Amino acid sequence: MHMSFQTLLFRASIIVLLLPFRLAAQIYAPGEAVVDVDGNAYPTVVYVNGQEWMADNLRTTRYANGDSLVHAPTTFEWQDALGGAWCHYANNTVNEVPYGKLYNAGAVRDERGVCPAGWHVPSLEEWIGLTVLIDPTYVPVTTILQSAVAGGAMKEVGTQWWTAPNTGATNAAGFGGRGSGTRNQNGTFISQGVRTRWWSSEATAQYAQRYWEVGNAHAELRRGADFLIMGHSIRCVKDDLSTGIMQHSAPTDLRIYPLPIENGMDLSVSGHAAGSGYRIYTMDGRIVRNGSLTSAPAAIVIQSMDAGTYILLVDGAAPKRIVVVQ
């Protein structure tokens, strides 16, 4: 049977949409892991923009200073918790290791810090930075759908931790997302294997907090807001930037001058190998400059950049902060 070109193109586009999303390049390397105040150990991943994220959901029962969160297994206890509270999904400890604990937003907002010392609940800018690395076409929007493909790259493959079909799952970002489910404000548990929501540090109102979500039936990464009494998972991000994907036994001692730097000036870079590649990122993960440092020392022209803080990443060296002033 003869098919028109338009029909063939349509069918080809459908096939492409059904294919798993693959990253164009490796964007992460294994980190050195982190241990919380309870002694729970978590694997970590370091991304090329210097962000280091936990690769498992949080399981602590205490704040970083040692103070206890409220354990709220019953419906009454969950609804009555005024501060930070936690529970296992379905109040079953079998969910502890594979899925982590569920926390209300009070735990996120508490100044004592629910994450290990030196780590924190990710901000809007850090979620955006991670999404841009996974999906370079991503442009932050105010709607629920953020990226059509980033969620798939953040999910573990298969149906051990997800209900079928686990659409688009590749775990290409090394994030290891599992369907940890949710606890509602009425105390009921829903959606294990179907979705996971991770709290963000971004408050939308006195009574609401942002989350980021992936699900089993699509490859999307979504963003929404929930009441503080909802129970979601938490991933933590390291306070300081890490070396990134460039793994060297003796990292280069990179030196940059001047800091801060005025727009229109040359940034002097030394301590690197001639020919090293470089990238300058905004704090939300966008690349604003890239190229090769053909000499040592070398100069990067800081031109037409907004005032603010940026990250310079040179091959083989730890990230450096750059402050640009007008």
| Residue closest to 169 by CA, chosen among 215, 234, 131 | 215
In this structure, is residue 23 part of a structural domain?
no
- Verify that 55 and 165 share a domain, yes or no: yes
Cα–Cα distance list, 50 to 45, 248, 312, 320 (Å) = 10, 15, 10, 9
Cα–Cα distance list, 302 to 86, 268, 280, 308 (Å) = 47, 10, 10, 12
- Verify that 215 and 280 share a domain, yes or no: no
Those residues whose C-beta lies under 8 Å from the C-beta of residue 322, and which sit 6 or more positions away, are: 256, 259, 260, 261, 267, 280, 302, 309, 310, 311, 312
CA angle (199 as vertex; 107, 205 as ends), nearest 5: 80
SS3 string, the chain, reads CCCCHHHHHHHHHHHHHHCCCCCCCCCEEECCCEECCCCCEECEEEECCCCEEECCCCCCCECCCCCECEECCCHHHHHHCCCCEEECHHHCHHHHHHHCCEECHHHHHCCCCCCCCCEECCCHHHHHHHHHHHCCCCCCCCCCEEECCHHHHCECCCCCCCCCCCCCCCCCCCCCECCCCEECCCCCEECCCCEEEEEEEEEEECCEEEEEEEECCCCCEEEEEEECCCEEECCCEECCCCCCCCCCCCCECCEEECCCEECCCEEEEECCCCCEEEEEEECCCCEEEEEEECCCCEEEECCCCCCEEEEEEECCECCEEEEEEC
- Verify that 52 and 171 share a domain, yes or no: yes
- Verify that 55 and 184 share a domain, yes or no: yes
- Verify that 210 and 260 share a domain, yes or no: no
The pLDDT of residue 115: 98
- Verify that 74 and 195 share a domain, yes or no: yes
In this structure, is residue 247 part of a structural domain?
no
Find the CATH number of the domain harbouring 285. 2.60.40.10
In this structure, is residue 300 part of a structural domain?
yes
Average pLDDT along the chain, 326 residues, taken 10 residues at a time: 35 38 75 94 91 97 98 96 96 97 98 97 93 87 94 97 98 97 96 98 94 98 97 96 53 81 93 88 76 92 88 76 86
What whole-number distance in Å separates Cα of residue 225 and Cα of residue 220?
16
Backbone angles phi, psi at 30, to 5 degrees: -60, 140
- Verify that 209 and 272 share a domain, yes or no: no
Q: Which of 179, 205, 238 is the last residue of a domain?
A: 238
In this structure, is residue 158 part of a structural domain?
yes
- Verify that 265 and 234 share a domain, yes or no: no
Could you tell me the residue range of the domain that residue 47 belongs to?
Answer: 28-238
What tokens were used for 97? Answer: 């290791």
In this structure, is residue 12 part of a structural domain?
no
In this structure, is residue 17 part of a structural domain?
no
The pLDDT of residue 245: 55
- Verify that 216 and 320 share a domain, yes or no: no
- Verify that 234 and 275 share a domain, yes or no: no
- Verify that 289 and 152 share a domain, yes or no: no
In this structure, is residue 203 part of a structural domain?
yes
- Verify that 201 and 90 share a domain, yes or no: yes
Q: How many domains does the chain have?
A: 2
| Residue closest to 231 by CA, chosen among 41, 81, 126 | 81
Q: Which of 196, 212, 238 is the last residue of a domain?
A: 238
Q: Which of 238, 263, 289 is the last residue of a domain?
A: 238
Half-sphere exposure of 193 (CA within 13 A, CB side): 9
In this structure, is residue 20 part of a structural domain?
no
